[in-house]
Amino acid sequence: MKPRLVIGRRPHAWLAVLFAALFAAGLSAQMPDPRQMSGQVLPSADLPTGSVTVRVIRQTMANTAPGIEVELHGAGEVRRATTGQQGRARFDGLPPGARVHVVAIVDGERLESIEFPVPGSGGARTLLAAGVGAGTPGSGGALSAPRPASPLAASSGTLRLGADTRFAIEFQDDQLTVFYLLEFVNPGQTALAPTPVVIELPTAATGASFMQGTPQGASIAGSRVTIPGPFAPGVTQVPIAFRIESWPVDWTLDQRFPLPLDNIAVAAQKLTGMTLESPQATTVRETTFQGLPYLVAIGKGVAAGTPLTVTLRGLPHRSPIALYVALLVAVGLVVWGVWAARSRQRPEEATRRRQLESRRHRGLSTLAALDEQARAGTIDLQAHADKRAELLHELERIYRELDSTGDLPGGDAGLAA
């Protein structure tokens, strides 16, 4: 059964678990060997919040390296731990949101992880692989040498969207539902009180709302999201959801943020024939969650004001035209019913009217069945458009005949006019 994320009802912690499962699978898919895996970080929902584990190996995953000293930098004083028999060292009690990295020297090779924020929920795992060309020459005395700052790392006192910011796209009740799990990171030691952060959602977004856990004072007006300060040190999570009710075959999410975004992580529920593209994504992989296929895109961060662009291609077309036609037909039926109830008709006119009504009913039923086939994807889009045009033309002719016999008010000013 499809897992449902009901806007405004699911706690965002549950959404974070979904993201952790999807992106952990996606990251695993893109790192097939120790050289590629060394220094990378995976979120881990099964670890306690504030925990980071480091596994140290020599050349292969099976060749663990016990007795290696590992240092963790970025959470106050440098912390140290020694790998056990399984080659693992663990650090607990780290402040969520702190940007940290780990360092170890194995056989004269200095190994470092990427810089990453301590997750606000759950922990993180990383691997350091020696002998695969992932490190640099080093010595025991150089273990605590300072590490150059990441190009996207913000200086103290600068607010940004952290590396655990996630985006997801799902299909619910014949609509696209989009989720943002935004993590505002304040790397300093004191609260930041900048001007409110304003985010303009896509113009097609409807029903935008916050999920549970939103900061006090945050508001949504139409497609404008406003998050006021102050932002406490560490991580402030803001979960947002909205719907897209109609879309073309190729639909693009184009979202700008007023803050730098540390990395790109997007998951989209995969439909048959659908693909995902993003100019910022370095990797797009398919994975599963609770038996459902997802496309996961992972890439480097973007600067403030630079659009995050994600395109889903091959979607089942959803157009509002069918709704407008149905409303138009419904209004016509009401007008006709009122007029018919007040009119007297000769027997031959009544017979003719019944015949036209029967043809109209068959036409509307056929039109509804045709639209249902289009929504289910069992009919070619061009064939659907051609048949729909023929049916509408026939219905217009029927309504003109009804109008000309006096069943609709105003002569030729009825539905077909």
Give residue 155's pLDDT band: very low, low, confident or very high (50, 70, 90): very low
Name the more confident of 377 and 125.
Answer: 125
Q: Which DSSP category does 242 fall into?
A: E
Average pLDDT over residues 250-259: 93
Q: pLDDT, tens digit, for every residue of 207-247?
A: 999 887 677 889 999 999 999 888 887 778 899 999 998 88
> Band of the pLDDT at 92, cuts 50, 70, 90?
very high
Q: Where are the beta strands (DSSP E) in 228-307?
A: 234-244, 251-255, 261-269, 275-277, 281-289, 292-302
Whether pLDDT at 292 is above 90: no
**What mean pLDDT is predicted for residues 73-81?**
93
- CA dihedral 91→93→97→103, nearest 10 degrees, is -20
Averaged pLDDT, 256-276: 91
Reduced to 3 states (helix: H, G, I; strand: E, B; else coil), residue 402 is helix
Q: Which of 258, 288, 313 is the last residue of a domain?
A: 313
- Residue 304 shares a structural domain with residue 334: no
Phi/psi for 390 (5° steps) reads -65, -45
Residues 268 and 350 occupy one common structural domain: no
Question: Residue 14 domain-assigned?
Answer: no
Question: What was the pLDDT predicted at 402?
Answer: 77
Per cent of the chain over pLDDT 90 is 29
pLDDT above 80 for 394: yes
Q: Six-digit token pair at 298?
A: 């992972």
Q: Are residues 188 and 274 located together in one domain of the fold?
A: yes
218: in domain: yes
CA distances from 308 to 57, 104, 139, 262, 275 (A): 36, 35, 41, 12, 17
**What is the pTM (predicted TM-score) of this model?**
0.49
List the alpha helices (DSSP H) in 31-81: 34-37
Same domain for 49 and 189, yes or no, is no
| Ramachandran bin of 8, using left for φ above 0, alpha for ψ from -120 to 50, beta for the remaining angles | left
Residue 290: which pLDDT band, with cuts at 50, 70 and 90? confident
Instruction: Please compute the mean of the pLDDT values over residues 139-159 and round it to a whole number.
Output: 49
Instruction: Show which of 142, 169, 199 is a domain's final residue.
Output: 142
Q: Which residue has the higher pLDDT, 64 or 9?
A: 64
Residue 28 lies in a domain: no
Sign of CA dihedral 370, 374, 376, 378: positive
Q: Given a cut of 70, is residue 16 above it in pLDDT?
A: no
Return the top range by mean pLDDT from 155-169, 178-192, 271-285: 271-285
Bridge partners of residue 179, in order along the sequence: 168, 241
Give the list of residues 6+ apart from residue 321 with CB closer than 8 angstroms, or none. Answer: none
Q: Order of strands across the sheet with 219-221? A: 197-200, 224-227, 219-221
106 plus 75 within the same structural domain: yes
- Residue 96 · residue 49 · CB < 8 Å: yes
Instruction: Pick the closest to residue 52 from 137, 156, 122 (CA basis).
Output: 122
Looking at the structure, do residues 284 and 339 belong to the same domain, yes or no? no
- Assign 315 a pLDDT band (cuts: 50, 70, 90): confident
Mean pLDDT of 300-323: 80
How sure is the predictor about 6, in pLDDT bands with cuts at 50, 70 and 90? very low
Q: What per-residue confidence (pLDDT) applies to 388?
A: 86
Q: Are residues 309 and 325 in the same domain?
A: no
Q: What is the pLDDT of residues 338-392, one digit of tens each?
A: 666 655 556 677 788 888 888 888 888 888 888 888 888 888 888 888 888 888 8
As a whole number, mean pLDDT of residues 105-120 equals 91
- Of the candidates 287, 313, 339, which is a domain's last residue? 313
- Cβ(238)–Cβ(16) below 8 Å: no
Q: How many structural domains is the chain composed of?
A: 3
Angle ∠(116,40,156) on CA atoms, nearest 5: 15
Residues of the domain holding 371: 321-413
| Domain-embedded: residue 83 | yes
pLDDT over 50 at 129, yes or no: yes
* Residue found under tokens 């999201």: 225
Other beta carbons within 10 Å of 347: 7
183 and 301 part of one domain:
yes
Residues 345, 350, 352, 356, CA torsion sign: positive
User: Average model confidence (pLDDT) for the chain?
Assistant: 79
Q: Is the pLDDT of residue 43 over 90?
A: no
CATH number at residue 221: 2.60.40
Confidence of residue 33 (pLDDT cuts 50, 70, 90): low
Mean pLDDT calculated for residue range 121-126: 90
Do both 50 and 128 map to the same domain? yes
Contacts of 139 (CB under 8 A, 6+ apart): 105, 108
Buried b / exposed e over 264-277, threshold 16 CB at 10 Å, is: bbbbbbbeeebebe
